[in-house]
Each structure stands twice: as structure tokens, then as C-alpha cells.
Structure 1
Amino acid sequence: MKKILTLLFFVFSITCISQVTKQPNIIIILADDMGYSDLGCTGSEIETPNLDKMASEGVLFTHFYNASVCCPTRASLLTGQYQWDAGMGSMSPSRSKYSEYQGFINERSVTMGEVLKQSGYQTYMGGKWHVGNERDMWPDKRGFDKFYGTPAGGGIYFYPSKFYDRPIFWNGELVKPDTTWYSTDGFTDYAINFIENERIDKKPFFMYLAYIAPHYPLQAKQQDIEKYKNKYSVGYEAVRNARFKKQQKLGIVSNELELSPAVYPDWESVENKEQEAREMAVYAAMVDCMDQNIGRLLKTLKEQGIEENTIVFFLSDNGAGLTDFNKTPEVKIGSRNSNATYGIWHNVSNTPYRKGKQMEHEGGIITPMIARWPAGIKNKGEIIHEPAHINDFMPTCIELAGAKYPKIFNGNEIGEYDGQSFLPLIYGKEQDKERIYFWSFIGNKAIRQGDWKLVQLHEKDWELYNIKNDPTEINDLSKKEQAKFDELHAMYNDFAKEHGVRPWPLDK
């Protein structure tokens, strides 16, 4: 059945994009730890005119699921598989004895770079890789012709970082940026240089641009911070409520939706209001800077005459992070020597949802996703509320490119992808409403089928929600809907067994 549906979607997609006479260029832009409501088009007061324009000229998915944390999400995006099948059930490197948790993309998986390269695409990766730290696991060893960025995790903005060891490489060679370098700008500079000077004309390209922003530490350029220095002195509640009202006005959420309970204290009880407001101002500056750079990239596409047949996607790897610390209290938050997070503001970033990064409640696993393609998307400005998943990118890009997913690659038998193309959703066609989605990370678990979702925090009781009626997960029905609870619980256990999902903590 899966193969039949895939074939039907492929035929449908080719029909819809028949006016495009050649393979489109494909760009996937991934933010790091950005919350659900942090864009203007999803409710924010942060200035994101370029991403807002992308949404108005393309389509905006409001229920695009990720894997709740960076490494698993990136593995699923690149391979189309659930993270355990790709070897990334946890963070990198995990060095577990279990193949599902080995901490790098395995040889039974192929990356989108490898698949599209075989279909005639030039391939480029910029930014944060984080799905294999050893030299033979880097992007240029997994299908990307060019790579500029850090093979390890995030955390670097100004160079060098005092806190995180994140060397920068260009095609395998160590580079040392100067003191004016800022990672969001630097990653964009090299991406633009590839488009302007290194791509082969009339040959399609695939670009995967993975920013570190707005992941901690809070570090931004002063001119960007200045724009927001007085914005957040009104406190958490005022900003969150304003975002929620804007979301309702934009049609991002229903007017009948109940906002999830706040987890922050009353603003009047906060002792250091100036510092708290500063934290959110710096975070906003980091998002703003990312949007500015995306604007630079889009401008380059237009100047090069390739804007029309380039499809650009944007999303985040997970919801906002809950980490709360300031390891440099003596330093001004936002400077190159600052090592702090924005803590409780995550509840504002994730408006209107509960929880956040690493958790399988909606605040951890849902992201807005924008797709813009002037030559191929005609229903401009449409908001798509149907769910889709991070592992859907592989089959979607295969259809866009007319590529073929291999059964054997480099002598290895390749497992099937788990995703399905979301092109039909872009063109107004319904997907399987009973599709099943699964999540698990460090003991946090969830399964969704249709309107029903079963979710658990590590070592806590399972919770059951009707996501259609209660998307903010307020009314737990686990004691009232026993039959549905048992059905989903059994399905989750079957899935875990099939995909090698282990109890947490791992028995190394």
C-alpha cells in the first residue's frame, strides 16, 4: 500500500508541476531551537520580513512535526527514516552498543545529498552538521560536494568561542575566521558564494543550510540588539498574550483554542526584570539576524535569475529549549563573552503549546514550515493545518527532482524511508488522516494516530489527548478513554520493538 500511495503521489506531483520544464533547485534552511511563535507570520513581534514574505508567496504548514531534538531531527530530515533506523536514536556521539543509538548516520541509510547527487544535482551543505563527528562521517563523505561549517554541535556565534569547541571547516580544511565573523553571517556568505561562483550553470543544486541560531548562548550583534532593547520590559504575560491574539487573527490557530497554562512567574515578582528583558531582546536579535541573512540569500537567487525555479523550505529542528543558566553573570548578556540562555521565555516562544525541546508534547515537536517556489506553488499565502513530518523531506525532494531512491548504495542494502511526500498537501490534496507518527527521546514518548495522541514524560504517567479538540494538550483523557489508550499504547510498544527503541537510560 505504501508503494502504491507513493506512486500516486509521484504521478500527482508531476502533473501539478508540469509547467516546470527542468528540475528545481532545492534549498532547505534549518533553524536551531527556534520556538513555534518566533516568526512574524506565526505571531511574533520579532521582525522577520523575509520569512514572512516567503510564507505570503508560498505556503505555511502549521503542524509540521520534528523529532524534538537536534541530532535525531537532522538524521530524519537527511534520510527520510525514523532516527533509530538511521542510527541516531540519541545525541551525537552516543557510542552505544546498540546500532540504533550509535550516534552517526549509518551505512544502511542514504542522505538526501547522496540521492540527489545521483540524479544530477550539485550538493552543498553549510552550518551545523551534528550527525557524525568523525572525519569519515562529515557532509563531504555523505553526498555533499561542498561543505562550510562545523561538523559538531552548535553554540558558536563569534569566533573563537570561549565556551564551545566548534572548529570551522571548508571542504575538510580548517579555517580560522577573524574576530568580526558571526556564524549566521558567515554561513550565509559561503552559501551565497556557492550560488554566485561555484555552481555549474544550468545544472540543479541542492543546498542544506543549517543555522546555529537561535540556540544558546545568547550572543548577537549590538546593532540587532538595539532594535529590541526596550521591547520586553512589559514581561512574559503581555508578550505571550499578544502573540496568541496575533496567531488567532492570522489564522494560525483557532479562535476557540485555549492557551496552555503559563509556566512563568508574575512579572511583578521578578527581581531582575532588566536582565530578563535583556535575555529575550538578545534572543530576538538572533532570530532577526537569521531572517536578514535569509533575505540576502533570496536576493541572490533573484539576481542570479534562478528564483522562479528554486524551492526554498524553512523550519526549526525542535521547539524552544528549556535550559536556564547564566554562566557568566559578570558579563553583559549578548556579548561575545556571554554564556547564558533565555530560560523561562521558552514558554513565550512556544505559544500556544506546552513543554519544549526534548519533550514529545506539542511544544517540543511542532514547528511551522514554510515552502516558497514561484514557478511551482500557485496557491500563494495558503495556510496548511494538516500534519506532516520531518522524515517526509526525503520522498518530497525525490519527487521534486525526479530522483530514484536506491535499494543498494556503496555496496550496502538500504532500508526504506518512513516518510511520505507532502507535495499533495501543498496542492490541496488530503493525506491519510489515520497516518501514525512516533516519538521517543531520553524516555519521553508519544504516538499520534488521526486526532488522538498518547504522550509521556520520562517516568511519569501516560497522557491521552484529542489533538483536534485539544491541540494545547490541557484535557487529559487517559482515565476516560480506556479503549483508545490501550490501542495506542499497544501500537507504541509494537513500533518500539520494530525500530529498536530502547528503555532510557540506555544499558550501554
Structure 2
Amino acid sequence: MRAWQLNKGRQTVSRQDFHWRAVAALAVLGWATSMACSATQASQTAPDRAAANVMLILADDMGFSDLGCYGGEIATPNLDHLAAEGLRFTQFYNTARCWPTRAVLLTGFYAQQVRRDALPGVSPAGGRGVRPDWAPLLPEILRPLGFRSYHSGKWHIDGQPLENGFDRAYTLYDQDRFFSPQRHTEDDQPLPPVDQDSGYYATEAIVDHAIRCLEEHAEQYADQPFFHYVSFTAPHFPLHAPQEDIDRYRDTYHVGWDEIQARRGQRLKEMGIVRHDPPAMEPEVGPPYEFAKGLERLGPGEVFRPIAWRELTEQQRLFQAEKMAIHAAMVDRMDREIGRLIQQLKRMEAFENTLILFASDNGASAEIMVRGDGHDPDAAPGSAPTYLCLGPGWSSASNTPLRRHKTWVHEGGPATPLVVHWPAGIAARGELRHDPTHMIDFVPTVLELAGSKHPKTWNDQPVPTPPGRSLVPALAEDGAVQHDYLWWLHNGHRALRIGDWKLVADRDDSWELYDLAVDRGETNDLAAEHPERVAEMVAFWQARADEFRELALADLPPTQAPKPRAPKTAKKKTGKPKADDSGFVTLFDGQNLDAWQTSETAQWKIEDGVIALERTDGGLNNDDYLWTKERYSDFVLELEFKASEGYCNSGVFFRTDDLADPVNTGIEMQVTNSYGRPLSRGGTAGAIYDFLAPTKNTVRPPGQWNQARLTVVGSRIQVELNDEKILEMDMDQWTEAGTNPDGTSNSFDRPLKDFSREGHIGLQDHGRPIWYRNIRVKRLDP
């Protein structure tokens, strides 16, 4: 039993403390029309019948065939039972990556449409993008319909749960520690960091919270339907699991990934899920991001390519088999915890009328990296001091019978199991559905079951037509849901599916064409045989990309819309502010923004000698930049900043070469509320974002002013915060894309040494409010 407790002044929760209460039957009632949305959401109508509860369960980085009901050898009896008493979809898709999938799930739009995945010419977008005002999350739409909404687990969406319609939330922001998260919240309020020896395990803690929400719902809100989003962090790396779970699979994987792939492939064909044999593993395709120091840090047992098992050394085979045992243990434990959820629904007498959907956010991952607390090779594999990843060999096996991995958009990246169970609403038992469907279909499905439709307007803005289709017809009949097309773009990988034809290309590679009706493994490229079809589909893919870009840019201020790259001759020799005796030029004196490029919509304002963003949403989720008119190469920048409470994730950008794409063409010094929090590359004030954490956390509490000094000379960067030097680095040591010198990964597709040595300085306000004042710069370049 673990001693870790979640206590927010209402109830102390530990696994042994749960006492199951017998409650009256959960009568799920449709709410009266008077509870329908306001005029701006007039397209919604209250349901005129009993509404089903909805529980969406999402795994993280789970392979297509990891479940027993999808051909796997991992024990997943609870999900297998749901499948046997419900439906399995064989061609259900996600976006191939975690945060875009989560945006799609809860908005009903492609991630690029709502700026939650990258699209050329749109910035900010991707993991730091902010949704348009017309794109609410599903709980906001459900609330006027009488639903209560709960979130338990991983978030990875802009904003925070309660400010986006959830009534309760336990949120894990720490993806690097299953036993001791340092960043997690309850109801959007920070919780203390967890010690490694506390007995905490993330998969159990997520379900502990979910059960508590369900108990509260049964006690206090039994006359209302609920939407519960249970978002596991398993089996995402690091491979962490309780030892007793690992021991169940200790001997299972010594046969090797080739044999596991073959066995799973055979079972999948026998089940009728696919018709084809698994494609051959691709020994030339390794992790999506290079990790050159990995062999040194992880030891001689690690393997960076899916080579034949017989070609591995004995040490490598033992090491690799142990890794897959941990992955299996994580999936096994997740299924056991889902069993606890099912038992709670039954105790509430809500199981029969709860639609349960289980899927994964993307396929299994070929990534290999070390981050978090690092990797101790002497510790037991799977324990807290270790940091192991699945890697391309086992990822290929987990994604059987499909090709490639997470981040790619060949089938192994975006294809996921989908198990659907709803005794009161699905007559079929154990049937398959072969409809090509997608995460964009989730929102329209829930809204149809709630007796409503997607709103036509939101926040006084028109809402575009969502691209998804309701899955409700497919609950009754195979082949009942048809899409005109399905579209993908991630990390430069791109794809389009129309009918059974799939057009797909890796980043910078030529297009390939496959007939998925006979070649789901994508082994027979037909592009050369059908050039006209390829040309038509390429044009269609590009037309959708252009359409999505136009939509994503529609509500951005002019400073964030694409602009021609500023010429490097933009420095003016006359008319510049004069330097003082020490050589500093004032960029902001508390009076005007003459040295800055301001947006036509006046996003930035001056109040009491302070620069702040004119916020339009109650001060929660705005995002904007303020750029210097001039470009700087070598310089000293001094400024003061003040952060607000809560999630405040802003930065000072420098040497930004392209203002249309600052995240990828500039360097960012983090400006954030990190007071009292652990050091990190992405969440500590003074960090150079995703490249290097500071050595100290010297930021002051929210509401207090901080003095920052940034010195940039050639390849050298130095940060001082509140009169203490906290960071020194040499850009030239960052020689590999996606990898830091210490072996940890970053999200950039080129090494830091190749970033521009000249560019604009920018102030960012991203998330909760930030304030700047007393800004001056001193040029050090000739």
C-alpha cells in the first residue's frame, strides 16, 4: 500500500482509504430547454431524452497491438471484456502525436485549424499555440446541457482544465517521473512535489482521482450526466513500473521483437482486424530525434535500430527484453486500474448507461532519450532512478501490423485501437467496425448523444463547420460512417486518405501512394503507376493546408501573421535613440513604444510605466509578441519583469530571424513563475528554453519585480537574475538536432549552433499575464 495522499482540504485520498459506498441508481436525465446555451451558442438544444454518461480513456504512446483484444500478449482482461461486450474499430486514427491529438479530441477540429500543431506560416502554433476564441473545449459546450465534466491525468492543451469547462481536475504536467511528479495540480492549484519513496505511482493516482470524482458525482449530482476524461501517462517513456508488475513479464520477451511481431500479426489476421502480414522492420529507421550520447549514457545494451534479434549481443537481448517487460507492465497496470473504474461505475449503477471509449494518442514511440532525473545504470530497470525508452525495435513490434512509429504518419504513427462499450446503447457484442474514422469524430459523437450539435457561434464569433462525423451510426452498423477525406501533417510528415487510397510522405521525401484495402502495411508504393491520382491528391492535400492556414490566421493580430523576413540590412545608421554614457540605449522608458513594432490592434498597452498585454479573455490564455524595430547580434539586455500566479509561460526572445516563426528561428530566455519549483529547461525563469536549465532558481514570488540581464556575444550566452549569475552556455556545443550536449532531447529540428547570430529582440506574453519595465540594450557588436 502506498502512503502518498492527495489532500486539498476536502478529503484525504490513499488507495487503502477508499470505502465504496452504495448509492442510489444514477438517473441520467435530459435537462430542460431553459438550461440550453445563451444566444451566442444558439445552435445547441437541450436533449429531449435520457443522456448517456461518457468516459473517454486515453493511453499515451501505446502500440496498435499492445492489447489482448488487438492481438497482443499483454494481459488486458478488463479492456478485452469491454471489447467482447462492445465494439472494436480497426481503422481509427489520431494525429500521430500527443498534444495535437488532445486538441482534436476536445475541440472536434484538426489541430492545425486551432493552432495546436505546426503549419508553415502560422506562429505561434504547435505545443505552444493558443486556440482561437471560437474553439472551446467540449466541457464548455456540454455544461449548458446539464453535464458535469471531470479530468484526471495528462493535459497537454493550452489553458487549464477548470478554466475550460471541467468541474474537477487532477493534472499531471510532469511526464518524466511516474513515481515522484514535481509538477501536478488539483483543480488548477499546484500540489507539492512527491518524494520517490512515497508509494505514489501515476497510473494509480490518476484513477484514485477519477474514482473520487465519480463518488462525489454519485453523492451530489446523480441527476446529471457526466463526461469524464481519463488521460493516462502510460506507457509513455520513461519506462517506469512497480517491480511486481515487471516480474510478470520477465521471461516473455526473450524470444525477441521479430517473433513477437510475427505472433501478433498472425493473431490479428485470425481476429479479422487486418488481412495482411506485418511489414518487414526498417533497420535504417531509428528514433525520430538523434541521441548520439545515448550509447554512452545507457550502456552497451541499448540499440538504436530495429535490426534482427539474432544479430544482437547477449547483453543487448537481455537489456531489450527487460525494456519490453516494463512496457508490458505499464499497459497491464493501466488495464488493472481501468478495472477499478469499471467497478466504481457498477457500484454507482451507472455502468449500463455510460459510453466508454478507449484509444491511444499515437502509436508506440521509437524515441530514445534521457531527461528528468537522468539514468542510473546500476538501478533496477523500471525504477525511479532509471530513464529508459521503448526504442524502434519494440516500437515496431508494438505497432504490429503497421509501419513506422509515433510522429510519422505512415500507419504506425496515427492508427490506434478504439474500444467502445455501452450496454444501454449498443446491441452488438464483440463486433468489428472497419469504418476509417478519426479523433475529429469524438466531439460530434458526444454532442449527438447529448441531443445537441456543435455551436454555430462562440464568443460572438462564427464557428467553422467541424470536419468530423458522428460515430453513432457505426454503433449500430459497420460501414455507416463515411469521410470525404482524412488529413495529416506533423513534423513535416504528411498524409491524405481518400477512400482506401493513402498518399503519404516523410519530411523532405517524395510522395508515396498505397491501396490500404490490400496493403495496410504500406509495402507496395503505387505512386509511379498512378501519377494522375498522386497529382490530384497532392493538390487536394495542399488545398486543405492552405484552408487550415487561412483559418488559423484569421483572428491573429497583424504582428503574428506571416510577414516577409526582415532584411539583414534593416539596421539604420541615423535616427536611433542615443546611447547613454555607459553605452545603453533605452528601449522602454515607461512612456512609449517607439522602439518597438506594435500591432494595429493595439494588443500591448502602457500602464503606470509598465508594458502589459491588452487581454481579451479575462486574463488567462492570450498570446502575443512585441518586437524591436532593430536587429541585434551581440548585446547586453537589461529589463525587469513580474509574473502572475498560476501557469505563466512567457519569454524574452532574441536573435529572432523570422518574425513569422519566432519559436523556430529565435532563442528564448524563459520568463515565468517558477518560484519554489524544481529546475527545468522549459519551466524555470532564466532557462534557455528547451536547451539548458539555470543552475539556480532565483526568481521572486509572483507579484514581485525581477531584474534580468542577458549577455550575448558570438556563441556565448549568459543570464543573470536578481544579481546572481544562473546560466552560461556556448551555442557551438549544441551540434545535433533534437539533442542537448548532456544527452537530453529538445524539440528543435536543427542544432542550436545553426541558429541565426542576429535578429530581433521580442517580449512574449503567453498564458497568464506578465509585465515588463525598465528595458535597455547595449550593443557589443562592431
TM-score (norm 2): 0.58
Q: Which residue number in structure 2 is paired with residue 171 of structure 1?
A: 187
Q: Which residue number in structure 1 is paired with residue 254 of structure 2?
A: 233
CA distance in 2 between partners of 1:406 and 1:434 (Å): 21
Q: Would you say 1:323 and 2:367 are equivalent positions?
A: yes
Which residue of the other structure, out of 409, 418, 425, is the alignment partner of 1:369? 418
CA shift for structure 1 position 98: 4.7
Q: Which residue number in structure 1 is paired with residue 450 of structure 2?
A: 401
Q: Would you say 1:282 and 2:331 are equivalent positions?
A: no
Contact kept in structure 2, 1:129 and 1:153, CA below 8 Å: no
Q: SS where residue 364 of structure 1 aligns?
A: coil
Q: Would you say 1:465 and 2:501 are equivalent positions?
A: no
CA distance in 2 between partners of 1:250 and 1:430 (Å): 18
Deviations 1:211-245 (A, max 9, x none): 00000001000110010011111111111111111
1:37 maps to a residue whose letter is S
Q: SS where residue 249 of structure 1 aligns?
A: helix
Q: Which residue number in structure 1 is paired with residue 776 of structure 2?
A: none
Which residue of the other structure, out of 57, 60, 71, is the alignment partner of 2:88? 60
Q: SS where residue 362 of structure 1 aligns?
A: coil
CA shift for structure 1 position 102: 5.1
Q: Would you say 1:359 and 2:412 are equivalent positions?
A: no
Q: Which residue number in structure 2 is paired with residue 244 of structure 1?
A: 265
Q: SS where residue 413 of structure 2 aligns?
A: helix
Q: Which residue number in structure 2 is paired with residue 16 of structure 1?
A: none
Which residue of the other structure, out of 182, 192, 214, is the alignment partner of 2:211? 192
2:164 maps to a residue whose letter is R
**Which structure's CA Rg is the greater one?**
2
**Is the alpha carbon distance of 1:379 and 1:413 closer, same or farther for their aligned partners in structure 2, counting shifts above 3 Å?**
same
Contact kept in structure 2, 1:233 and 1:273, CA below 8 Å: yes
Q: Which residue number in structure 2 is paired with residue 270 of structure 1?
A: 312
CA shift for structure 1 position 493: 0.9
Q: Which residue number in structure 1 is paired with residue 117 of structure 2?
A: 89
Contact kept in structure 1, 2:122 and 2:549, CA below 8 Å: no
CA shift for structure 1 position 95: 13
Q: Would you say 1:129 and 2:155 are equivalent positions?
A: yes
CA distance in 2 between partners of 1:105 and 1:208 (Å): 19
CA shift for structure 1 position 101: 7.5
Q: Would you say 1:138 and 2:160 are equivalent positions?
A: yes
Q: Would you say 1:104 and 2:130 are equivalent positions?
A: yes
Deviations 1:420-454 (A, max 9, x none): 10111121053465620100011100011011111
CA distance in 2 between partners of 1:153 and 1:356 (Å): 23
Q: SS where residue 500 of structure 1 aligns?
A: helix
CA distance in 2 between partners of 1:169 and 1:101 (Å): 19
Deviating more after overlay: 193-202 vs 294-303: 193-202
**Is the alpha carbon distance of 1:207 and 1:246 closer, same or farther for their aligned partners in structure 2, counting shifts above 3 Å?**
same
Which residue of the other structure, out of 462, 476, 494, is the alignment partner of 2:525? 476
CA distance in 1 between partners of 2:505 and 2:121 (Å): 26
Deviations 1:297-340 (A, max 9, x none): 00110111111111100000011111124652333220011111
Which residue of the other structure, out of 480, 489, 492, is the alignment partner of 1:440? 489
Q: SS where residue 50 of structure 2 aligns?
A: coil
Q: How does 1:326-341 map to 2 (within 5 A)?
A: 328=375, 329-341=377-389
2:452 maps to a residue whose letter is A
1:168 maps to a residue whose letter is H
CA distance in 2 between partners of 1:104 and 1:37 (Å): 34
Give structure 2 stretches of 5+ with no counterpart.
1-47, 283-305, 553-561, 563-657, 663-782
Give structure 1 stretches of 5+ with no counterpart.
1-19, 161-165
Q: Which residue number in structure 2 is paired with residue 205 of structure 1?
A: 226
Q: SS where residue 412 of structure 2 aligns?
A: helix
Q: How many residues align?
A: 474
CA distance in 1 between partners of 2:424 and 2:378 (Å): 52
**Is the alpha carbon distance of 1:216 and 1:407 closer, same or farther for their aligned partners in structure 2, counting shifts above 3 Å?**
same
Deviations 1:103-136 (A, max 9, x none): 233322021111111210001011111012xxxx
Q: SS where residue 487 of structure 2 aligns?
A: strand
Which residue of the other structure, out of 301, 314, 318, is the alignment partner of 2:345? 301
**Is the alpha carbon distance of 1:260 and 1:99 closer, same or farther for their aligned partners in structure 2, counting shifts above 3 Å?**
closer
1:172 maps to a residue whose letter is D
Q: Would you say 1:383 and 2:432 are equivalent positions?
A: yes
Contact kept in structure 2, 1:57 and 1:372, CA below 8 Å: yes
More strand, by proportion: 2
Percent pairwise identity:
37
Deviating more after overlay: 270-279 vs 207-216: 270-279
CA distance in 1 between partners of 2:307 and 2:57 (Å): 34
Deviating more after overlay: 286-295 vs 166-175: 166-175
1:49 maps to a residue whose letter is P
Contact kept in structure 1, 2:434 and 2:478, CA below 8 Å: no
Contact kept in structure 2, 1:95 and 1:102, CA below 8 Å: no
Which residue of the other structure, out of 491, 501, 508, is the alignment partner of 2:540? 491
Contact kept in structure 1, 2:356 and 2:422, CA below 8 Å: yes
1:26 maps to a residue whose letter is V
1:266 maps to a residue whose letter is A
Q: Would you say 1:35 and 2:68 are equivalent positions?
A: no
CA distance in 2 between partners of 1:491 and 1:37 (Å): 32
1:291 maps to a residue whose letter is D
Q: Which residue number in structure 2 is paired with residue 51 of structure 1?
A: 79
CA shift for structure 1 position 198: 3.9
2:356 maps to a residue whose letter is V
**Is the alpha carbon distance of 1:471 and 1:95 closer, same or farther for their aligned partners in structure 2, counting shifts above 3 Å?**
closer
* CA RMSD across the alignment: 2.2
Contact kept in structure 1, 2:115 and 2:122, CA below 8 Å: no
Contact kept in structure 2, 1:71 and 1:90, CA below 8 Å: no
Contact kept in structure 1, 2:433 and 2:479, CA below 8 Å: no
Q: Would you say 1:451 and 2:500 are equivalent positions?
A: yes
Q: How does 1:399-438 map to 2 (within 5 A)?
A: 399-428=448-477, 430-431=479-480, 433=482, 435-438=484-487
CA distance in 2 between partners of 1:90 and 1:73 (Å): 13
CA distance in 2 between partners of 1:402 and 1:235 (Å): 50
CA distance in 1 between partners of 2:71 and 2:154 (Å): 27
CA distance in 1 between partners of 2:126 and 2:132 (Å): 9
More helix, by proportion: 1
Contact kept in structure 2, 1:157 and 1:182, CA below 8 Å: yes
**Is the alpha carbon distance of 1:352 and 1:100 closer, same or farther for their aligned partners in structure 2, counting shifts above 3 Å?**
closer
Deviating more after overlay: 169-178 vs 316-325: 169-178
**Is the alpha carbon distance of 1:495 and 1:33 closer, same or farther for their aligned partners in structure 2, counting shifts above 3 Å?**
same
TM-score (norm 1): 0.89
Q: Which residue number in structure 2 is paired with residue 220 of structure 1?
A: 241
Deviations 1:263-291 (A, max 9, x none): 32222221221111000000000000000
